[in-house]
Structure 1
Amino acid sequence: MDVQMVAQEFFIAPSLRDYFERRLHFIFARARKHVARIVVRLRDLNEPRGGRDKLCQIWVTMPGRPEVVIQEIQEDMCYAIDSALKRAAYRTMRLATCKGAR
């Protein structure tokens, strides 16, 4: 499983990267064998003004299946990452186990 993390207008602290990697491996434990690639984009939408503006987008690529695209916006980046990863893993498992999606 190839994982890429991209940050736009947002600094990824080492602690946030560690948090993301731990959550990714835990949440995608069952779906890992179905996934070829995951691309994660983190962004602070209105940087200096604050508010509910932390964006986490996830693209999951599986061989022979449609791409899973999830977008989550929250006040806290950890919440955005957690929610997006859970939704992406759920959708990935649904597609991977669906017999008619090939």
Structure 2
Amino acid sequence: MRVHIKVVGLPGAAQLRRFATRKLDVALSCFADRIEGASVRLLDINGADRGGVDKLCRIALTLKGHSAVVIEELGSNIQRSIERATERLHQRVSHQLARVVKVPGPLPA
């Protein structure tokens, strides 16, 4: 699974990338063979000078078969936003893959 993580306007970019990678690995390890790639964007919307609920974690996941799952989580703490986003992503991917109907071989004539 390819993972691209972009950090904008947040201090400690290297640590945030490692943290997000670990959380994604835990959340998606059981689906690894069904996932093509993931893109994670970590962003301080209002900039570092202003506090508040402005830390965004956006995860876009591409599943094999070209379906996509996008999760956004906004909060005042970026680590907590990453945790909530990866938890929600696990649930959404699990639900979406469970909906895929597998057709067993050709039907008898």
- TM-score band, normalised by shorter chain: 0.7 to 0.9
Q: Report what 1:93 is aligned to.
A: 94
Q: Report what 1:22 is aligned to.
A: 22
Task: Report Cα offsets for 1:4-26 as digits up to 9, x if no partner.
Answer: 00122334433222222221111
Distance in 2 (alpha carbons) for counterparts of 1:27 and 1:10: 23
Q: Is the 8 A contact 2:59 2:71 kept in 1?
A: yes
Task: Report SS of the residue matched to 2:90.
Answer: helix
> Which structure is larger by alpha-carbon Rg, 1 or 2?
2
Q: Is the 8 A contact 1:20 1:81 kept in 2?
A: yes
Distance in 2 (alpha carbons) for counterparts of 1:12 and 1:67: 29
Moved more, 58-67 or 45-54: 58-67
Counterpart residue identity of residue 70, structure 2: V
Distance in 2 (alpha carbons) for counterparts of 1:71 and 1:8: 15
Matches of residues 4-23 of structure 1 in structure 2 within 5 Å? 4-23=4-23
Moved more, 75-84 or 12-21: 12-21
Q: Is the 8 A contact 1:27 1:86 kept in 2?
A: yes
Distance in 2 (alpha carbons) for counterparts of 1:51 and 1:62: 33
Relative contact order (C-alpha < 8 Å, sep 6+): which is higher? 1
Identity %: 30
Matches of residues 1-102 of structure 1 in structure 2 within 5 Å? 1-47=1-47, 48-100=49-101
Distance in 1 (alpha carbons) for counterparts of 2:70 and 2:89: 7
Distance in 1 (alpha carbons) for counterparts of 2:16 and 2:42: 11
Aligned residues: 101
Distance in 2 (alpha carbons) for counterparts of 1:21 and 1:99: 27
